[in-house]
Structure 1
C-alpha cells in the first residue's frame, strides 16, 4: 500500500502515545461484548460455572494469541492483507477478514438503533419502562417499582392496572386480548409480533425491549413492520463512523479517549447503586459460586472459549491493524499481557453489575435467579436499565448510560472500517490521496443499504443469525489458520523478527 497516497504517511499513521495505544486497544475489545454478550452467556451457563472456564481460556489462549497478532502487526507495519506477503498462499485470509468485518458491521449497526430508541424514550417522565401502563404492555407485565422496595412480600410485581383474576387470554399475530369473565371487560393492546407472547411474566423493561424496540415479526422471512425511524438512526450512525475515519488512526484515537472511559465511569456508578438493592448479594453469590456439574459440560467450555475470542477480537484483523499503528519499540509483550487481563476484568465487572440487579429482581419477584428474566441476548442491557430505573433522576442516568453504550459501538466499528479502507489501499496502491473520501462514502453505502433490512420486524432474527454464525466463529477459524501459517510455516523467522523489537533479547 502506498501510504503517501491513499492513506496517510507512515509517521502520521502511528499512535501519538502509549496511552493512546492502550485506550484504543481497550476501547475496541471492551465494548458491547462485555455489557451485552458476557452477562447473557454467564447467566445461561450457570454464573461461576462459566466464569472459571472463561478466565482459564483468556490466559491459555488469549494472551499468546494477542501477542502473536499484535507483534507481527507491529513488526511489519502492515495491515491484515499485506501482512501475508510473508506467505502469499494465505493472502485470502486478509480478504476473508475484511469481508467478515463488512458483514459484522451490517448486522451489528442495528443494535445502535435500538439504543437510540431507548435514549429517546429515556427523557419521558416517568420513563416508560418503569411501569406497565403503556400501549405495548401485556397483562403479564411486572411493574419495576417493586424492585426498589426492601419489603415487598405482599407485592405481586404485576402492574396494578391489570386485575389479578384474569381467567383466559387469546394470542393472535395482531392483537393480545384478555377477557375477565366477572366484569365482562376486555383489554386489547395492539402489539406487533404477539405470536411470540407466551404468557410468561416479564418485567416492564423486558416488554419495552420486546414490543416497542424490537417489534418482532413472525419470523426471519417476515419484514413487517418496517420501522422507518430506524432508517434515520442508521444513516446518522454511518455518517458518524465515516467522519470519524477521515484521518484514519489519528481521528480514531481522539474519539476513543471518550468512548473508552465514559462507559467505565458510569458502570462503576451503577455498580455502587446496585449493591444497595436487596438481593444483590444473592446475585453475586450465583455469579461467583460455580456449579461443578455444569463445568463438566462441553457446551460451557465451548461458549467460554468463543467469548474469550469474541471479546479480545482474535482473527478479526483488528489487533494486527492496531499493531501496525504502534511504535516499533513499543513493548508488545507487556501490552499483550496487560490488555487481555484488563479486558477480562472489565467483563467480570460488567457481570457483577448485571448479577447484582438479577439478584434484586429474583428477590423482589420471589423466584430463583435462573427464572427471573427472559430477555435472552439482551439480559445485560435489561439488567442495567432496570438498575438505572431505581436511581434518583433516572432520566439523566439512563440517558448517560445509553449514550456510553452507543459510544462503545462507535469505536468497535471505527477499527473495522479503517481496516477495510486499508485493504482498498493495498489492492489499489496507485489511488490518489484525494480519492479516500470517495472510497469512504462508497464503503459506507455498501454497509448502509443492506443494514436497512434489519430496520424491520425481522431485524432481531437477522442480527442474531449474523452474530452467531459470523461473529462467534469467524475469529476462531481465522486464528487457527494464523497459528498454522505463522507459527509453523513462518517459523523461526518470527523469533528473529521479535528479537529485533526487544533490545534486551528476552527470547
Structure 2
C-alpha cells in the first residue's frame, strides 16, 4: 500500500470556457464582415447588368424574402438557442441530420482554400500598386507580347477596336505575370513563389485574428468590418465624378422586364442569395452561439440582411460608374468592359484605374477594400470550422494551448493542399474547386434538408416559441410558412433547375477540361452532398432497437442540456400543445 504522504493527487486539467461576444456590437460586426464580402462587389453588380438591370431586383427580392431572411433567422436562432457549433447543434435538435453539419464544414474548408488564394492575388496587386508606374498600365515590360495594347495612350482605341488578336496590358499582367498560366490543367508547371508568399501572409494574418477565439475575433472586426465601407464610399464618390459614369450607372440599372421569363435569371438570383447570406454551411449558427441566450437575434437578423443587400446595390454604383468611365475613355460599349469575379477585380477595374489621375492612390484604395472585405469573411469561416470541431471534443480541445496548436495544424493542412493552385496550371484547379466543390447546388441541397429537419422534424412551432422565449418578440407567422413550405420548395426547385441546366466547366470560354477533371469535379461536389444521407444511414445502422425505433430516437431533440427556466417553459408549452392536439 502506498504511503499517503507520497501519494500523488491527480492534476486538475484546466478547461477554458467557451465564452461569449464581448458586446452586441462585436456580434453584429462579425456577422456583417462575414456576409458582406467579395460577392457583393464583384458578383452582384455584374449579375444585375447581365440579367435585366433593375428587373433583376424582382427575382433577387423574391429569394431574399422566401429563402434568404428565413434561413438567416433560422440558423442564427438555433445557434443562440443551443450554444453549440455547426455540428453539435444538430445533436441537440435532430441527430439524424447531423450530416448537414459535417457537409457545411467541408464546404467551408473548400471555400477557405479558394478564398485565401483570391486574397493572396489582391495582396500581390496591392504591393504592385506602390510602384512608380502601375505594371499593368503599359506594354513595356518583359512579360508583354507584340499584341499588347496600352490604353493609357489615347491613340490605341482604334487599334483595339479593329483587331481581334490584341490583348490589353492589364490582361497580360494578370495572365502572364501573376499567374504565368500554362496551357491546361495537365501542365501544372512550377510554383509561383510571389503568390505563395502572399498566401502564407494571408494565412498568418488570419491565424492571429482568431487564435484566441471570440476574444480576438471580436476585437479585429471593429476594423475589418468597418474600414471597407470607408473605402467603398471613397471609390463611389470618385467613380460618380468621372466622365461616362452616368452611362455606366444607367447600363447597370436599366430594366429589361423581358429577362424575367428566363429561368437562368431566377437561378442566378437564388445562387447569389445563398452565397451572399452565408446560409446552409453553419456559419450563422456558430456566430449566433456566442450570443447570450436573451439576445434579440430576430431584430439583428432583419437589419443584417438589409445591410447585406443594400451594400450590394451601392457597390454596383461604385463599380459601374468606373466601368462607364473606362468605356468612355476607350470608345467602346460598356458591355465589352463589364466583367465578374476575378475578371473584374484583376483585369477590368485595374485597367480602369490606370486611366485615372493618381492611379496608384485609387489602386491602393480598391485593393485595400478587397483585402479587408475578404479577410473578415475568411477568418470568420476559419473560426466557424474551429468552433464546430472544438465543440465536438470540448474536454480535450479547450485545454490551454490546444486551440492554438489545432488552428496552426488546420492552417498548415489547408496551405499544403492549396499548393497545387499556386502553380502555373493552378488557375484551372482553382476554377474547378470554385465551380464544383463550392457550388451553389451543394448549398441548396443542404438548405433543403435543413429546413425539412428543423421545420418538420424539430418543429416550426417550437422554433417560433423559442424566438419568443429568447427575444421577447413574437416573430411574424410568415416565417413559419417559409420554414414549413416556401423555403424548402423554392430551394428544392432551384436545386433541380441547377442540375437540369448544368453545363460543363470551361476556362476563358475556349479551354475544355479533360474528362478526368470533370470526374474529379463531381467527386468534390458529391463529397459534401453525400455526407447528409450517408451520415443518416450510418446512425441508423449503428443504433439499437428496431429500425422504426432508431429512426424515432434519432428524430428526437435532446431537451436535457443546460435548461434555463425560459427553455423549460418553452418545452413545457410545446408538450402541452402536442397533448391538446392529441385529445
* TM-score greater than 0.5 by the shorter chain: yes
1:271-420 equivalences in 2 (<5 Å) = 271-373=236-338, 377-420=342-385
Is residue 362–residue 372 contact of structure 1 (8 Å, CA) maintained in 2? yes
Q: 1:35 aligns with which of 30, 34, 41?
A: 41
Q: 1:215: Cα distance to partner?
A: 2.3
**Equivalence for 1:497:** 466
Instruction: Label 1:379 to 1:288 Cα distance change in 2 as closer, same or farther (>3 A).
Output: same
Q: CA RMSD in A?
A: 2.6
**Equivalence for 1:486:** 454
Is residue 23–residue 260 contact of structure 1 (8 Å, CA) maintained in 2? yes
1:35-434 equivalences in 2 (<5 Å) = 35-85=41-91, 86-145=93-152, 155-157=155-157, 199=165, 201-373=166-338, 377-431=342-396, 432-434=399-401
Task: Tell me the alpha carbon deviations over residues 259-301 of structure 1, each in whole angstroms, 9 at most, x when there is no partner.
Answer: 1111111111111111122221111111111222222111111
SS in 2 for 1:344: helix
Instruction: Label 1:6 to 1:442 Cα distance change in 2 as closer, same or farther (>3 A).
Output: farther
Q: 1:224: Cα distance to partner?
A: 2.1
Task: Tell me the alpha carbon deviations over residues 318-356 of structure 1, each in whole angstroms, 9 at most, x when there is no partner.
Answer: 111111112222211111111111111111111111111
SS in 2 for 1:315: coil
TM-score (normalised: structure 2) = 0.74
Is residue 45–residue 315 contact of structure 2 (8 Å, CA) maintained in 1? yes
SS in 2 for 1:497: helix
Structure 1 Cα separation of the partners of residues 323 and 68 of structure 2: 29
Q: 2:403 aligns with which of 429, 436, 445?
A: 436
Is residue 79–residue 321 contact of structure 1 (8 Å, CA) maintained in 2? yes
Q: 1:15: Cα distance to partner?
A: 1.5
Q: 1:78: Cα distance to partner?
A: 1.1
- Structure 2: gaps spanning 5 or more residues: 1-11, 477-583
Q: 1:458 aligns with which of 418, 422, 425?
A: 425
Structure 2 Cα separation of the partners of residues 479 and 144 of structure 1: 46
Instruction: Label 1:324 to 1:7 Cα distance change in 2 as closer, same or farther (>3 A).
Output: farther
Task: Tell me the alpha carbon deviations over residues 4-28 of structure 1, each in whole angstroms, 9 at most, x when there is no partner.
Answer: 9898424xx2112222221111111
Q: 1:461: Cα distance to partner?
A: 1.9
Task: Tell me the alpha carbon deviations over residues 51-94 of structure 1, each in whole angstroms, 9 at most, x when there is no partner.
Answer: 44223322332111111111111111111111112211111111
Structure 1 Cα separation of the partners of residues 362 and 227 of structure 2: 12
Q: 1:474 aligns with which of 420, 424, 442?
A: 442
Structure 1 Cα separation of the partners of residues 167 and 44 of structure 2: 21
Instruction: Label 1:412 to 1:506 Cα distance change in 2 as closer, same or farther (>3 A).
Output: closer
Is residue 14–residue 325 contact of structure 1 (8 Å, CA) maintained in 2? yes
Greater CA drift, 255-264 or 377-386: 377-386
Structure 2 Cα separation of the partners of residues 51 and 142 of structure 1: 37
Structure 1 Cα separation of the partners of residues 30 and 203 of structure 2: 20
User: Structure with the greater relative contact order (CA < 8 A, sep ≥ 6): 1 or 2?
Assistant: 1
SS in 2 for 1:427: coil
Q: How many pairs were matched up?
A: 460
Q: 1:157: Cα distance to partner?
A: 2.5
**Equivalence for 2:526:** none
Structure 1 Cα separation of the partners of residues 15 and 433 of structure 2: 30
Structure 1 Cα separation of the partners of residues 340 and 462 of structure 2: 49
Task: Tell me the alpha carbon deviations over residues 223-276 of structure 1, each in whole angstroms, 9 at most, x when there is no partner.
Answer: 124212222222222122222221111211211111111111111111111112
Is residue 36–residue 381 contact of structure 1 (8 Å, CA) maintained in 2? no
